[in-house]
Structure 1
Amino acid sequence: MARSLDGLVLAPVADQAPGQVGTGTRFTYHEQDGRIWAEYAGGDVVRGHLVGTREGDRLDFRYVQLRTDGSTASGHCASTVVELADGRVRLEEAWQWESQPGSGTSAVEQLPGASS
């Protein structure tokens, strides 16, 4: 199993569509006994939260966020935890909005020098 996500700060590797997370968004992850949660903000997201579970290298969680335009959105994401060659963590994600149409894939990576 990949190492714990607890205390790690991750950021998207690419921008998504307007109103979604982007390279300016920062996720602070927490993990305990197979449960994961994170707070995130930045870019078009004023505040976001995710909660879910981890089994091995697989995460399954729901997310909800408040955007800078005052709208809210929620969805579901399944991620795979990958350890990069330099020891940082990458999450490869498949997500789907539940509050609006849309789905896709994305990746977030631990920031260099951020908690480990």
Structure 2
Amino acid sequence: MARSLDGLVLAPVADQAPGQVGTRTRFTYHERDGAVWAEYEGGDVVRGRLVGTREGDRLDFRYVQLKTDGGTSSGHCASTVVELPDGRVRLEETWEWESRRGSGTSVVEQVTPHEH
């Protein structure tokens, strides 16, 4: 199993659709006893939260976010934790909005302290 996500900061490797999570968004992850949660913000996201579970290298969580235009949205995501050759963590994500239509895939990777 890949190492704990607790305290790691991750960022998307590519921008999603306009008005969504993008490369300027930062996720700060926490993990304890099979539970995972994170706060995120940046880019078009004023404030976001996610909460869920981890079993082995699989995460299952729901997320909710407030955007700069005042809109809110929520959804569900299943992720696979991958350890990169340089020791950083990558999450390969499959997500689906629950508050509106739409779904997709994304990748977030651990950022080094100077990239925060």
Shorter chain as normaliser: what TM range?
over 0.9
Counterpart Cα distance in 1 of 2:99 and 2:113: 35
Counterpart Cα distance in 2 of 1:44 and 1:102: 18
Deviation at 1:19, TM superposition (A): 1.6
Counterpart Cα distance in 1 of 2:66 and 2:29: 18
In the alignment, does 2:79 pair up with 1:87?
Answer: no
Alignment-derived partner of residue 48 in structure 2: 48
In the alignment, does 2:10 pair up with 1:10?
Answer: yes
Q: Which amino acid is the alignment partner of residue 90 of structure 1? A: R
Counterpart Cα distance in 2 of 1:112 and 1:31: 19
In the alignment, does 2:73 pair up with 1:73?
Answer: yes
Unaligned 5+ runs, structure 1? none
TM-score (norm 1): 0.96
Runs of 4+ with deviation above 2 angstroms = none
TM-score (norm 2): 0.96
Counterpart Cα distance in 1 of 2:101 and 2:113: 36
Deviation at 1:81, TM superposition (A): 0.1
Alignment-derived partner of residue 23 in structure 1: 23
Alignment-derived partner of residue 100 in structure 1: 100
Alignment-derived partner of residue 61 in structure 1: 61
SS at match of 1:2: coil
Q: Which amino acid is the alignment partner of residue 64 of structure 1? A: V
Deviation at 1:113, TM superposition (A): 3.9
Counterpart Cα distance in 2 of 1:64 and 1:54: 18
Q: Which amino acid is the alignment partner of residue 65 of structure 1? A: Q
Counterpart Cα distance in 1 of 2:17 and 2:92: 18
